[in-house]
Amino acid sequence: MTSAAQPLPKPQIYVDADACTVKDEVVRVGERHDLIMHFVANQWMRLDDSPLVNRVIVPEGPDAADDWIADAITDRDICVTNDIPLASRCLEKGAKALGQAGKPFDTASIGMALAMRDLNRHLRETGEIRGGGRPVSRKDRSTFLSALENMVQALLRQSL
């Protein structure tokens, strides 16, 4: 007697929420596909009251949210973060990683992204450059929505 293959679990979305500017966009896509979304931060955050939204408050600490996400994420999931080391940790587990401007991280680009992060940190420390990155634009939000939608749909197709 042969048994039918069990469908793969639905993907979940993990959000590095402390400085996330695309929370509403994540909720839109997550609700559209009935996906559980984990918003992880070290302080309370205002979010939709959707039953699909899980607020995770971690203790204060430099990498507490990152550690929680990296421990919980699976190869069926998506991480939304601008934190390049966290994106790298998620990719190592086989998960997808997406920046807030809609740029996916992948195994081919993560090494260069880590190197550029280190270079920029050094240049800021030496005073060669000042400030952080540019704010997220409307075009970035649109690009993010499209990229997240595409990632979710690709993972859902794999479930069939």
Condensed to tens digits (0 to 9), the pLDDT of residues 65-98 reads 999 999 999 999 999 998 888 999 999 999 999 9
Q: Is the pLDDT of residue 47 over 80?
A: yes
Average pLDDT over residues 142-157: 95
Of 49-58, 89-98, 103-112, 138-147, where does mean pLDDT reach its minimum? 103-112
Whether 125 is in a domain gets the answer no
Least reliable range by pLDDT among 36-50, 89-103, 119-133 = 119-133
Instruction: Please name the helix (run of DSSP H) or strand (run of DSSP E) that holds residue 98, with its range, or none.
Output: strand 96-98
CA dist list (Å): 48 to 1, 12, 53, 110: 46, 17, 7, 32
In this prediction, residue 40 carries a pLDDT of 97
Binned at pLDDT 50, 70 and 90, residue 116 comes out as low
Q: Which domain holds residue 79?
A: 13-106
Whether 151 is covered by a domain: the verdict is: no
- Does any domain span residue 91? yes
Does the residue 138 lie in any domain?
Answer: no
Closest listed residue to residue 29, CA positions, set 46, 44, 16, 12: 12
% pLDDT > 90, the chain: 57
155 domain-assigned: no
Residue type, 137: S
Average pLDDT of 118-126?
Answer: 58
In a domain, 71, yes or no: yes
Give the residue among 41, 66, 75 at the shortest CA–CA distance from 55. Answer: 41
Query: Considering the domain boundaries, does residue 137 fall inside one?
Result: no
- Between CA 142 and CA 136 the distance in angstroms is 10
Would 62 be classed as within a structural domain?
yes
- The mean pLDDT of the chain is 86
The CATH number that applies at residue 49 is 3.40.50.720
The residue ranking higher by pLDDT, 144 or 18, is: 144
Q: Reply yes or no on whether the pLDDT at 44 is more than 60.
A: yes
* Overall domain count for the chain: 1
Residues in contact with 76: Cβ distance below 8 Å, sequence separation at least 6, in sequence order: 8, 9, 10, 11, 12, 95, 155
Report, as an integer, the average pLDDT of 18-28: 93
Q: Which two tokens stand for residue 2?
A: 């042969």
96/62 Cα distance (integer angstroms):
23
Give pLDDT, residue 56. Answer: 96
- Predicted local confidence at residue 158, as pLDDT: 85
